[in-house]
A and B are shown apart, each in its own frame.
Chain A
Amino acid sequence: MERFESLTGIAAPLLQANVDTDLIIPKQFLTTLVRSGLGRHLFFEIRYDRGGLELPEFVLNREPFRKASILLAGPNFGCGSSREHAPWALRDFGIRCIIAPSFADIFFNNCFANGILPIPLSLPDVEALAEIEGPLTVDLAAQIVSGAGRIWRFEMDPGRKATLLEGLDEIGRTERSLPAIEAWETGREGQRPWL
């Protein structure tokens, strides 16, 4: 998996509440058989008009946010469907970090599997970050977001932090526990034979 250590980049503000994964990547793009190429469909229905032309008022259609690598979002970001197509689309667009007051559980998990760092910060903090002109810097090891001479500290579960910093192969890591899994299964067969 892709590592995440630190990042300096443009932060695009999209502060509306309850942005769901249907809005991030709508259904018509879920028939893909691959993970790549979804970036151009990111936020499709609020980014393009019916003729496929860019809506100029949408943040990612404006400079300098076309090259954003950080998304500043509202509460409960990523709610709804479990589709991992949502983080795939964000990552493919170039987003490596999302800062929001809160995230939906499944989306939050899916971010880490794709080298995206989701950072929970309070709404006033996210609003303050949105006021900053120029790039923000995110340092995962130090758990700090900085910009315009100011610093914000964020909380991060140590396990998740290590996963991103080291770019761990999660399946490979679980496979190292194979003897424990096998022993568990053997014990289970005796105890719950109907399963």
Chain B
Amino acid sequence: MTKPPRTLYDKIWDEHVVEVRSDGTVLLYIDRHLVHEVTSPQAFEGLRMAGRRVRRPSGTLAVADHNVPTLGREAGISEETCRLQVEALEANVREFGVPYLPLLDDRQGIVHVVGPEQGFTLPGTTVVCGDSHTSTHGAFGALAFGIGTSEVEHVLATQCLPQRRSRNMRVRFEGRLPPGLGPKDMALRLIREIGTAGGTGCVIEFGGSAVRALSMEGRMTLCNMSIEAGARAGLVAPDETTFAYVEGRPMAPRGAAWEQAMAHWRSLASDDGAAFDLELCLDVSDLAPQTTWGTSPEYGLDITGATPDPAAAPTPVQREAWARALAYMGLEPGTPLEGLPIDVVFIGSCTNGRIEDLRAAARVAEGRRVSPAVRALVVPGSGLVKAQAEREGLDRIFLDAGFEWRQPGCSMCLGMNEDRLEPFQRCASTSNRNFEGRQGRDGRTHLVGPEMAAAAAVAGFLTDVRRFLEA
């Protein structure tokens, strides 16, 4: 009898089933667990109280990223609660024998930048972290999803998680992205289409010619944002682009093991005829640069668009939500996005803090000046990204243009450290969330790609990056 065709998600899932339990849940084996300072202290404390150990330290990697300072960290962390949290992580990794990249190590950075860089993230694996943007690692054809602290404790103790199978969704992006646009625009366009709950209960496999054409870093940006569509995870089937990225990474297999791994990884694609519960296809050929206008990633528009009128909302709940978002953002209905004055520009985060993002922003910034009205920060995603950028002279381009060049971390994406918006400041940000208060109380976030962020910094207002390309 022939096996029924399976999706990529089905294949990874099936391989990791340890046990099907009487209540229908599956005990799923977890290959890779990333740990950071904010969502782990209570989990380690739970282990300590129960007298448990970390079952598989070699499948675990810890790094501090969420609350760390992005300037002058050699002098220590001045915010006391942040310092105590990093110290707690350091004490915990020592006590439980978990591999750790210290704050002053060159390899330190945002967990979702570090995992791929180190070759810790590999195709066909299951990857979890107490952070919703764990979906980033799906770019490698790994089943990667965010978990809560109780689940962090569960994985530390048992290397497994009780799980229920998600539904299969496929999103194909076809066509060729126009110049000046990137994977962030694809992600924002998709979320605009299906909403922030559009992927709830699903794992989204991304495919199509425009996804195949993306670099690994671009695929990471796309998968990173799949959580903003509500999806459990995003996935891209591994291919030559994937293998070329992974080969030679410090924790990647070598020699005979590499050949063996490759043989397996080549089988990681959805079978012809595999059934998807939901399918969607978007053509990116005429895509315009995307910007959000409100306080949910689904409130996206072409940069040429204008804010909506709540009176035109399809439901009363949406009418209220749009009105609330407009009021929070300090915008009237019908306001064109282009030309909105900006106070702050943030380039960085697990969405857009990798070397290609910095190169894309630097291409726009080169030879130009940040508007005097704007404070612009560039925060590399890791120490290795920072070092690479400095080898390429990108730091000089940014500094000469008037950007701040900072040390790696999550920074103003969530503002747990000092990097926050002041009340009512408007920010063009390459991060992933524009929620109320996300970047600072009463701060107003417009999500954009790195090219658009750099263009806004120079112009002093939201603008269409395509104009900069023509110049």
Contact = CB atoms under 8 A, between A and B. Distances in A.
14 contacts: A16-B324, A20-B296, A26-B441, A30-B416, A31-B85, A31-B416, A34-B41, A34-B42, A79-B196, A79-B197, A84-B39, A159-B21, A174-B160, A195-B31
Interface in B285-305: 296, 298
Contacts of A74: 317
B331 interface: no
A102 B88 CA distance: 36
B226 to A, nearest CB: 12
A146 interface: no
B343 interface: no
A82 B147 contact: yes
Given A82-B147, A110-B148, A76 B27 contact: no
B162 A170 contact: yes
Given A80-B435, A180-B27, A181-B18, A192 B264 contact: yes
Nearest to B67: A31
Contact of B23 (A105, A158, A192): A158
A193 B154 contact: no
Interface in A27-49: 27-28, 30-35, 45-46
A71 interface: no
A175 B158 contact: yes
A36 to B, nearest CB: 10
Contacts of A76: 196-197, 200, 230
Interface residues of A, number: 58
Given A110-B150, A159-B21, A174-B160, A22 B200 contact: no
Nearest to A192: B264
B29 A181 contact: yes
B437 A23 contact: yes
Contact of A162 (B23, B42, B260): B23
Interface string B112-156: 000000000010110000111000000000000111111101100
Contact of A177 (B18, B145, B433): B18
B257 interface: yes
Nearest to A77: B197
Contacts of B19: 177, 180
Contact of B157 (A20, A157, A171): A171
B81 A31 contact: yes
B260 A174 contact: no
Contacts of B151: 109-110, 113
B354 interface: no
B435 A20 contact: yes
Contacts, number: 185
Question: Among the interface residues A74, A123, A171, which one has the most CB atoms of the partner chain B within 10 A?
Answer: A171
Nearest to A114: B150
A103 to B, nearest CB: 8
Contact of A79 (B18, B24, B31, B230): B230
A141 interface: no
B318 interface: yes
Given A76-B196, A181-B18, A171 B50 contact: yes
A15 to B, nearest CB: 7
Interface of A: 15-18, 20, 22-23, 26-28, 30-35, 45-46, 50, 74-76, 79-84, 87, 102, 104-106, 109-110, 113-114, 123, 157-159, 162, 170-171, 173-175, 177-178, 180-181, 184-185, 188, 192-195
Contacts of A82: 39, 130-132, 146-148
Interface in B47-94: 50, 52, 66-67, 81-82, 84-85, 88
Given A22-B433, A159-B24, A194-B261, A80 B317 contact: no
Contact of A80 (B25, B132, B158, B318): B132
A104 B201 CA distance: 8
B321 interface: yes
Nearest to B86: A31
A16 B321 contact: yes
Contacts of A104: 197, 200, 230
Contacts of B453: none
B159 interface: yes
B315 to A, nearest CB: 9
Contacts of A17: 317-318, 320-321
Given A33-B84, A76-B230, A181-B18, A174 B27 contact: yes
Contact of B146 (A22, A35, A106): A106
B336 interface: no
A175 B55 CA distance: 11
B428 to A, nearest CB: 19
